[in-house]
Structure formats: structure tokens, C-alpha cells
A = this chain, B = another copy of it.
Amino acid sequence: MLHVELREAGFEPWQYLAEWQRQQIPAATARSGAAAVFVGTMRDFNEGDDVVEMYLEHYPGMTERQLESIAAEAIQTWSLDDVCIVHRVGEIHPADAIVLVAVWSAHRAEAFTACRHIMEVLKHQAPFWKQEKLATGSARWVEKNTQG
């Protein structure tokens, strides 16, 4: 199963996963021996400056399509049972969860590898752009992502 959500509203990633897990049929949970999850959170500093807010621009239509194709490819490659990707858009504040990637599979190697792979591809291909608002009052576009 593949679930992709872009959302403006904040979310608590563990509550989100608890909710998701409740929606699964019990048999499916007993089949997946392994879950690997990544959560990326907004920090209150970057490149030595205090960041008070962030705006996440995206490309409606293409962004969803890219995330779905990244998830679908991972499901194929590693025989995953489920992939769940949640990504914030719009205004974001420090300590907010920005991205959640969760992967379920029969074995741990596939879960770990697929979760990390999805994050790397998302960082390099999914059309999102971060603009930071600094404590000084100025705004700046983040020019590139950190290497994973």
C-alpha cells in the first residue's frame, strides 16, 4: 500500500503512525516483520543563523506525482508491504515535523535500505523549495540540501 500526503497543517509523526497502524488490517501487521521510519524536523538554526520560520514552496501536481513514483519504485525494488510519505508545505516553525517516511517490509535490511533511499531521492527530486525567515528579519532561499 502506498500513501502520500502533502499538508499545510502541522502533525505529530508518531500519532500519525499510530493512527495509520490502526487502519491496517491485523493480518497485514503480522506479515510485516520490520518497519523503518524517518522524521525530519525543522531546526531553529542553519548556517550559523537563527531561523524563526520557514516557507515551503512546492509544485502542486508534480510534487505528489514525484513522491508517488518514488514510493512505487521502492515498493517494487525492495518488495515492501507499505510506504507512507507525509510532507509539510507552506509555513513551518522550529520543532515542526517537515517530513515523515515510513516503510514496512518482511525483513529489516529491506526496510532500512528502502527508507533511507526514499529520503535521498526525495531530497534530490521532489519539487520543494525552502525559504528561511531569519531572526534578523530577512528571508533567504536555501540553495541546496545537505548531503545524506
Contacts and interface: CB of A to CB of B under 8 A. Distances in A.
A109 interface: yes
B34 A39 contact: yes
Contacts of A147: 109
A14 interface: yes
A47 interface: no
A44 B30 contact: yes
A21 B30 contact: no
Contact-residue size bin, chain A (C-beta under 8 Å from the other chain): 35 or more
A51 to B, nearest CB: 10
B36 A41 contact: no
Nearest to A28: B95
Contact of A30 (B18, B29, B37, B94): B94
Nearest to A112: B116
A94 B27 CA distance: 9
B95 A26 contact: yes
B148 A38 contact: no
Nearest to A40: B34
